[in-house]
């Protein structure tokens, strides 16, 4: 009898473990700051015992420093950010099926998220509808509020949680 109880307990524990919600930390980073922030978040979550996977959203065509020149209104980033419909191509798609909570990280560009974040959200839109989304960002000085407001307005069907600006 005691053995049966122990076995039942072990099986229940194993099932609970296998059903434990996984968290994805997906991020785009052009110059490394957001990558660092993503690693910090993943480490914090792991320390709390969560199962975490880090995923870099990479552009098919990497951004050069000339592309990132915000002073030049002809640079790739300026052209993309001036066009709300711009959707830079992503190198590799993500399987978001196993994750319940998804952190979405990016550098602030012109107050909001870079358009590649829209590409990633658009690519995964249907599946994202059942997930909890937590935006995080790095910036020179801007806050994350405008970016979160933009994401809420652009993707009203998704469950956006409070954003986190990482210093
Ligand atoms: C095209 C471009 C636009 C930017 N716009 C802003 C901005 O509006 N506000 C701000 O505080 N920082 C701005 N920044 C600075 C970045 O948000 C900041 O350096 C960020 O940490 C870079 O992250 P990364 O290293 O992950 O790419 C901009 C940078 C670039 C390249």
- The full set of domain ranges for the chain reads 18-165
pLDDT band at 8 (very low <50, low <70, confident <90, very high): low
Question: What pLDDT digit, counting tens, does each position of 95-141 carry?
Answer: 999 999 999 999 999 999 999 999 999 999 999 999 999 999 999 99
Q: What is the 3-state secondary structure (H, E, C) of the chain?
A: CHHHHHHHHHHHHHHHHHHCCEEEEEECCCCCHHHHHHHHHHHHHHHCCCEEEEEECCECCCCCCCCCCCCCCCCHHHHHHHCCCCCCCECCCCCCCCEEEEEEEEECECCECCHHHHHHHHHCHHHHCCCEEEEEEECCCCCCHHHHHHHHHHCCCCEECCCEECC
Residue 37 CA, closest ligand 1 atom number: 26
* Cβ of 142 less than 6 Å from ligand 1: yes
pLDDT tens across 46-102, in order? 999 999 999 999 999 999 999 999 999 999 999 999 999 999 999 999 899 999 999
| Ligand 1 contacts CB of residue 70 (under 6 A) | yes
- Local confidence band at 17 (pLDDT 50, 70, 90 cut-offs): very low
Higher-scoring residue by pLDDT: 27, 1: 27
Return the ∠ at Cα 89 (arms to 84 and 90), rounded to 5°.
Answer: 120
- To the question of pTM greater than 0.75 for the whole model, the response is yes
The domain made up of 18-165 has a fold known as Rossmann fold (3.40.50)
71 contact partners, CB below 8 Å, separation of at least 6: none
Integer Cα distance of 160 and 147 in angstroms: 11
Q: Is the CB of 160 under 6 A from ligand 1?
A: no
């Amino acid at each position: 009898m005691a053995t049966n109880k122990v076995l039942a307990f072990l099986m229940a524990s194993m099932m609970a473990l296998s059903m434990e919600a996984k968290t994805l930390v997906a991020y785009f980073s052009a110059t490394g700051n957001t990558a660092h922030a993503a690693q910090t978040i993943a480490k914090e979550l792991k320390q709390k015992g969560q199962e975490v996977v880090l995923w870099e959203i990479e552009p098919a065509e990497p951004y050069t420093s000339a592309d990132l020149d915000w002073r030049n209104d002809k640079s790739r980033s300026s052209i993309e950010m001036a066009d709300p419909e711009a959707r830079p191509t992503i190198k590799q798609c993500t399987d978001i099926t196993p994750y319940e909570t998804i952190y979405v990280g990016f550098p602030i560009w012109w107050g909001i998220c870079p358009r590649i974040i829209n590409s990633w959200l658009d690519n995964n839109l249907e599946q994202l509808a059942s997930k909890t989304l937590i935006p995080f960002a790095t910036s020179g000085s801007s806050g994350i509020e405008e970016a979160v407001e933009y994401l809420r307005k652009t993707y009203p069907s998704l469950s956006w949680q409070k954003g986190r600006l990482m210093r």
